[in-house]
Chain A
Amino acid sequence: MGKILMKGNEAIGEAGIRAGCLNYFAYPITPQSEVAEYLSHRMPEVGGVFLQGESEVAVGYMIFGAAACGARVFTTSSSPGVSLMSEAISYIAGAQCPAVFVNIMRGGPGLGGILPSQADYFQATKGGGHGDYRLLVMAPASVQEAVEMVMTAFPLAEKYRNPVMILGDGLIGQMMEPVEFPEHLKSEPSNKDDWATNGMDTRKSKKRNLVKSLFLDPVKLNENNLILKEKYERMKREEIRFEPYNTDSDYKILIVSYGTMSRVCKTAVDNLKAEGIDVGMIRPQTLFPFPEDAVFRAASKKSCRMALSIEMSMGQMVEDVERCVHGRCPVKWYGKCGGEVPTPEEIMDVVRSYL
């Protein structure tokens, strides 16, 4: 199959289907409503399930119910909606069920705005809901990458029996780009009969399954949290993904940037290179697990005098960059968070101001 021109939101919906996920529940919210609009006609075509829930709260639990009985399921939303789903996400993580959540971020806090933002970094990577849990978080920088990440997300969610979040922004959702869809994924979660409440007859078993997150015995609750922790540690060993850019050069400044913002930064890096200024860049593709070692090594390079976290937020990822740089060099932040995307010229000026 060749490349086709598609809007990010529609491509994300199609990617779900290509990943073999025929179950989608959602609630409309700008700037991602096109996913639901697209799947409202596409799911019936492929014999799948489409349902518009009454709220993001309810949708979160529709996802939980479906995931708990072993179905591959996903939803898409945007920042305020993800806040409402965060309760369910905590329960899903606690009960160890696989599910995929896509957040096409818009500016906050509160109703904020409807334009692109990256202000849900903390919510996605540090919690959002209550309790000790993590999501595997992937951040696409193009429509093509959004498609690939959505398709990778399902097997990863099943591998870890943990929710996976695709953290895009309004630009990724609204932009049209050429995309090529990888082959259909056919894999089913192989171990689901061990835990899913899919009916004893379905799995020809006399043993019933329970999906729950309540452990009144403190020792057992601690044990459950240790199981979760071990999964998150395994993610750190096996799932870190990042793209280094111009890191072979003798850069004085290292940019760390992800998603839409990283594309602008790349242009700035190219333009500065043309001026004879080398800037290195690390683009985290997974935000949790964060490419800790890559950032540490890049910041430890002899020529490197400073690391610069550039994000469409008031400084969230910068805390992870500081943590990973381990004091090897100063860490600064630059960003905007109202819906404006900083231009390459702005980034170039910021870099020049530190030289």
Chain B
Amino acid sequence: MGKTFKRPEALAEQDSHYCPGCTHGVAHRLVAEVIDELGIRGRTVGIAPVGCAVLAYNYFTFDFQEAAHGRAPAMATGIKRVRPDLVVFTYQGDGDLASIGMGEIIHAANRGEKFTTIFINNAVYGMTGGQMAPTTMPGQRTTTSPFGRDVKDVGMPIKVSELLSALITPAYIVRQSVIKPKYIVKAKKAIKTAFEYQLERRCFSFVELVSTCPTNWGLTPVEAVKWAEETLIPYYPLGEFKTPGQAEGGFDAK
């Protein structure tokens, strides 16, 4: 009997710096599996954000660039415009994408840039030590909302997939999760679809992944999965929000 489960070629043989119970590892693996399956490792360029995943380039085995905080979509635009033949994806967290980088992601999506964004939503800033993010839940305690997020003071958490879906430009916008196997299967399919749309030069593709951060939530890994399932997923519903075919005034693939 042959080997049925092995490390994807696109994933480096390297211990990660991620905390126990963190789901970045799952998301990394899914991206690597998709890149292997599509046979695109030799022409893929990843863009790391600022945040926990800034070191993502240590865990992949293809070209990588490192962006400033929030600017990955602008860098991806630069690459994709001058080298449309390369496969480009940004890998960004919620502080990076939904706070400081909101301008860049909205405009890249609206221009219909032909790259893919993997958006890790774990409702907190990770690398800087658990501060409040735009996606932090009402009442959720963080190091900068010690009494819980007060929505009267700082507003409601931003639903990025829904927000981007409001743009008229055709796009593939989907939210899945990586907290349990039943979600992971769907997340993998979404990531693969997103890269396929890019390969067809069809549209901007965006995969939001509801994730965990046990360390900054102050929970055990098992409790974190439970909290994500009971609190995050009801507020951040899973599913496809937009596919290029559904869009009004859809553009022809180029």
Contacts and interface: CB of A to CB of B under 8 A. Distances in A.
A211 interface: yes
Interface in B51-65: 54, 57, 61-65
A55 interface: yes
A288 interface: no
A20 to B, nearest CB: 13
B103 A54 contact: yes
B204 to A, nearest CB: 14
A222 interface: no
Nearest to B111: A51
B104 A197 contact: no
Nearest to A55: B103
A16 to B, nearest CB: 14
Interface string A206-219: 00111111100000
A65 B104 contact: no
B233 interface: no
Contact of B82 (A23, A55, A59): A23
Most buried by A among B83, B86, B107: B83
B78 A199 contact: no
B44 A212 contact: no
A202 B43 contact: yes
Contact of A213 (B66, B76, B103): B66
Interface stretch (B67-75, B147-155, B161-169, B224-232): B67-75
B78 A66 contact: yes
Interface string A166-208: 0000000000000000000000000000000111111000001
B77 interface: yes
A37 interface: no
A309 to B, nearest CB: 35
A324 to B, nearest CB: 35
A53 B78 CA distance: 10
Nearest to A54: B107
Nearest to A61: B74
Interface stretch (A4-12, A87-95, A111-119, A333-341): A87-95
B79 interface: yes
A201 B76 contact: no
A199 B44 contact: yes
Contact of B79 (A58, A65, A208, A210): A65
A314 interface: no
Interface in A149-174: none
B71 A208 contact: no
A102 interface: no
A59 B83 CA distance: 17
Most buried by B among A49, A95, A200: A200
A68 B65 contact: yes
Contacts of B76: 65
B59 to A, nearest CB: 12
A199 B83 contact: yes
B77 A62 contact: yes
A256 interface: no
A199 B80 CA distance: 12
Interface in A21-52: 23, 25, 49, 51
Most buried by B among A49, A199, A210, A214: A199
B75 A64 contact: yes
Contacts of A71: 82-83
B101 to A, nearest CB: 10
Contacts of A57: 71, 74, 103-104
Given A66-B82, A71-B83, A212-B66, 18 more contacts: A23-B82, A61-B67, A61-B71, A61-B104, A62-B78, A64-B65, A65-B78, A65-B79, A66-B78, A69-B82, A87-B68, A197-B45, A197-B63, A200-B42, A208-B62, A208-B63, A210-B63, A212-B57
Interface of B: 41-45, 47-48, 54, 57, 61-68, 71, 74-79, 81-83, 85-86, 103-104, 107
Instruction: List 10 A-B pairs, minimum CB-CB distance, nearest first.
Output: A65-B78, A65-B75, A201-B42, A61-B74, A62-B78, A197-B63, A212-B66, A66-B78, A54-B107, A58-B74
20 contacts: A23-B82, A53-B74, A58-B103, A58-B107, A60-B71, A61-B68, A61-B78, A62-B74, A62-B78, A64-B78, A65-B47, A69-B82, A71-B83, A88-B68, A197-B63, A198-B86, A199-B42, A210-B57, A211-B65, A212-B66
